[in-house]
Each structure stands twice: as C-alpha cells, then as structure tokens.
Amino acid sequence: MNAGGDALIHLEGVTKIFYTDEVETHALSGIHLDIHRGEYLSIAGPSGCGKSTLLSILGLLDTPTEGSYVLNGKPVANLSLAERARIRNREVGFIFQSFNLIGDLTVFENVELPLTYRGMKSAERRTRVTEALEKVGMAHRAKHLPSQLSGGQQQRVAVARALVGDPLILLADEPTGNLDSKNGEAVMTLLQDLHRAGATICMVTHDPRFSRHADCTVHLFDGRIVEESVESAN
C-alpha cells in the first residue's frame, strides 16, 4: 500500500456520484489508493459503503465521476467503451459471488470464452484452459456442465476463467458469498495459493475472517477510506 509511481493501480481523488430523481448519492468520495504487483488487498466495510462500486471502477465496468485512475502506467478513467472492454478482457480477471458461468457451455468452454473473444488460436486456447483448470483442481471436470457441479466447484471454475488470460490483477467480489463455510475456506485457500505464486489480488469482502488472508485491508465507510490495516503474517 506504500505510495509510489510504480503502482500497478493508482487511484487519485476518485469520486462516484449516482444521480436518481434529482437526488445525488455519493457512493465514493475522494478515494486515494495504490495497489502494487504481487499484493493481496482486501476491501472491507458494511453493506452499502461503496465496496462494489470501487471494484467496478477498478475493473473498468464503471467510470469515476471525478478523479484519475492509472492502470499499469496508462490513464484509463475516460476511455471509450470499446477500449475499456479490450483492457478488461486482457488485463483484469473477475471472480463474482454468483459464479456467472454459462449454463449450456461445458466447464472447458466457460473457461475458454475470454480467449475466444481475443481471437486466440485453438491450440493455444486449449493449452491455457487445461493449465488454468489444473491450477484450481478442476481438470477432471472439463466436460461437465455447471449444473453438474457443486457451488464450490463452480467457483473454482470461475477462478480458472479469471486466470486463463494471465491478467495483471484478479478482482474478487465477495467470492465466498454463495458458499458454505467449508467451500468458502477452500476458495480462500486457493486464492492464497495463487497469491503465493505471484498473482495480484483485490478482494471485496464483508467477512473479517477472509480479510485476514490478505496482506493489507482497506476499510471503507460511507464511500471513504477510513482505515488501512496490514496483516503481520499470513
């Protein structure tokens, strides 16, 4: 979390205002944040504090009302929709609470999809998908449909899909929210293993048990960073 020009992600004065029926809702107010390569950051706070809004901006799913966002040395706050989509596909891996797998595609095809959008050749896609599924322990389920898997297995497949494009950062939005405690712990252990292997991870969670897995936790309240805490050991 140390400030510096070498940050993979640098947010400066990021504010997000939603306008509805002449009412202004300040979802984020003056966020300053640096995330460095190889860091595991947790964003914590109560429901409605702006966690998911912040993650949406980090993942280029949304744009700030004010402020700057530099990703890997490039300003990205005001890019076109097409440019944002291209960067999302190549540089950001998403892990969602609800898995977001496509029901009529196999596990292999779900993981392959982001690479298909890139126009990557089939031989390279096959190699990358197999490696990603092996990393999450799901290679033996490659031909199954999501409906044939448990929730924990579906989330492992979703992690493989996030990994397959070799992104700069993994963004995880409440990745254990739809899982029982045993499967939740298993997914957290998987994320820890990926971090130890060099992945940069930013995770939103409301569960303090899971925040402790991260190197550092940023606490949000009413759209502002109110505290940063660094874990002494993992």
Please give the DSSP secondary-structure letter assigned to residue 140: G
Phi, psi of 197 (to 5 degrees): -85, 0
Q: What is the pLDDT along the chain (234 residues), one digit of tens a residue?
A: 444 457 999 999 999 999 988 898 899 999 999 999 999 999 998 888 999 999 999 999 999 999 999 999 999 988 999 999 999 989 999 999 889 999 999 999 999 999 998 889 999 999 999 999 999 999 999 999 999 999 999 999 999 999 999 999 999 999 998 999 899 999 999 999 999 999 999 999 888 888 888 999 999 999 999 988 787 544
User: Which phi and psi angles does 182 have, rounded to 5°?
Assistant: -65, -50
Domains in the chain and their CATH numbers?
9-230 (3.40.50.300)
Inter-residue contact 42 to 211 (CB < 8 Å)? yes
C-alpha to C-alpha distance for 182 and 151, rounded to whole angstroms: 11
Question: What's the pLDDT score for residue 189?
Answer: 92
CA-only gyration radius of the chain, Å: 18
pLDDT single digits (tens) 183-228: 999 999 999 999 999 999 999 988 888 888 899 999 999 999 998 8
Report the candidate in 99, 114, 117, 163 with the shortest Cα–Cα distance to residue 136: 163
pTM greater than 0.85 (yes/no): yes
Helix axes 107-118, 81-91, angle to 10 degrees: 130
DSSP 41: E
What values do phi and psi take at 165, rounded to 5?
-85, 5
Which one, of 226, 221, 181, 216, lies nearest residue 39 by Cα?
Answer: 216
**pLDDT confidence of residue 5:** 55
- The residue whose two tokens read 């409605």 is 48
